[in-house]
């Protein structure tokens, strides 16, 4: 099975979601658009933008490589959060896996994520549950992936809020991944902590050059009082003032090294 048909990635693909907080009658519409594609010899990066009323509120980047689709980074307002190592969102052979896991850093925060594959829950729809745990607490997300569509529903329960997001409209197409030599992996092999592991870290891509990497902040925390937010960022700066994001110039392929993609 071609795993990417459950999460179509291509330039100009878009999805529109109606999102509602639990126990609330209020809702918002969010449009997700893939605005940029960055090809390499053995992988491709896609950058998605999230819009509310035509205002960009967030960006996310995904990497398609030989063993699956990975989450590389998120940017909320001016805060860039890079996952080190990148997170296995959808392994090449996910349909045969009952679970897979990840352990690393979300920004500067040690984090663990456990993915559970609940398999097909209705025609052509897989249910994936993932539990993320770090010093802010435990968050549980449930996503429903539909063949030839992508995410059609998401349910979330975090220490800060709970919400349900449902797809209302979309338009997708499929990119050509014939140049990638895909191969499957087992649950235990995904991001095993070995020195010889050939997975990618934050230093493998240049597209976030010049951005400041700060501690992980959950999206809902942007509702904090301004003085509390300033204290948090100041504390993080003191905690690791040398945590800058940089990249080696010889990694980038086929793009202007001075271009700031964010």
**Whose CA is closest to 66, among 84, 88, 37?**
88
pLDDT of residue 261: 55
* Cis peptide bond prior to 85, omega within 30° of 0: yes
**Looking at the predicted structure, is the pLDDT value of residue 117 above 90?**
yes
Distance CA 104, CA 33 (A): 28
Look up tokens 């870290």; give the residue: 201
Count of residues for the chain? 262
Average pLDDT, integer, range 82-104: 96
**Looking at the predicted structure, is the pLDDT value of residue 6 above 90?**
yes
Read off the pLDDT band of 243 (50, 70, 90).
Answer: very low
Domains belonging to the chain, first-starting first, are 3-204 (2.40.128)
Q: What is the pLDDT of residues 53-81, one digit of tens each?
A: 999 999 999 999 999 999 999 999 889 99
Beta-carbon neighbour count of residue 189 at 10 Å? Answer: 13
Distance CA 181, CA 199 (A): 15
φ, ψ for residue 229 (rounded to 5)? -65, -40
Distances (CA, A) of 182 to 33, 77, 196, 253: 26, 34, 20, 21
**Looking at the predicted structure, is the pLDDT value of residue 230 above 60?**
no
Residue 238 tokens read as: 């003191």
Higher pLDDT, 69 or 183: 69
Percent of the chain with pLDDT over 90: 66
Residues 6+ apart with CB under 8 A from 258: none
What is the pTM assigned to this prediction?
Answer: 0.74
Strands 150-157 and 162-171 turn out to be antiparallel
- Cβ(129)–Cβ(141) below 8 Å: yes
pLDDT of residue 153: 98
Distances (CA, A) of 8 to 13, 41, 85, 134, 159: 8, 20, 23, 29, 30
């Amino acid at each position: 099975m071609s795993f990417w048909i459950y999460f179509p990635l291509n330039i100009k693909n878009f999805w529109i979601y109606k999102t509602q907080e639990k126990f609330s009658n209020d809702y918002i519409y969010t449009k997700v658009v893939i605005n940029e594609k960055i090809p390499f010899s053995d992988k491709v990066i896609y950058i998605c933008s999230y819009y509310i009323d035509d205002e960009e509120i967030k960006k996310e980047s995904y990497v398609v490589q030989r063993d699956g689709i990975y989450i590389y980074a998120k940017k909320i307002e001016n805060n860039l959060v890079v996952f080190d190592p990148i997170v296995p969102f959808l392994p090449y052979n996910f349909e045969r896996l009952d679970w897979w896991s990840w352990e690393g850093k979300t920004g500067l925060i040690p984090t663990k994520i456990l993915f559970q594959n609940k398999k097909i829950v209705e025609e052509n729809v897989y249910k994936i549950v993932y539990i993320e745990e770090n010093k802010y607490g435990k968050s549980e997300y449930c996503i429903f992936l539909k063949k030839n569509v992508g995410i059609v529903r998401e349910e979330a329960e975090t220490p800060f809020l709970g919400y349900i997001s449902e797809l209302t409209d979309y338009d997708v197409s499929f990119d050509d991944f014939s140049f990638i030599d895909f191969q499957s992996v087992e649950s235990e092999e995904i991001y095993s902590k070995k020195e010889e592991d050939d997975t990618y870290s934050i230093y493998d891509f240049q597209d976030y050059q010049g951005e400041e990497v700060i501690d992980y902040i959950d999206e809902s925390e942007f509702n904090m009082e301004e003085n509390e937010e300033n204290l948090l960022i100041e504390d993080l700066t003191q905690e690791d003032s040398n945590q800058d994001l940089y990249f080696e110039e010889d990694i980038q392929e086929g793009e202007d090294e001075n271009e700031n993609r964010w």
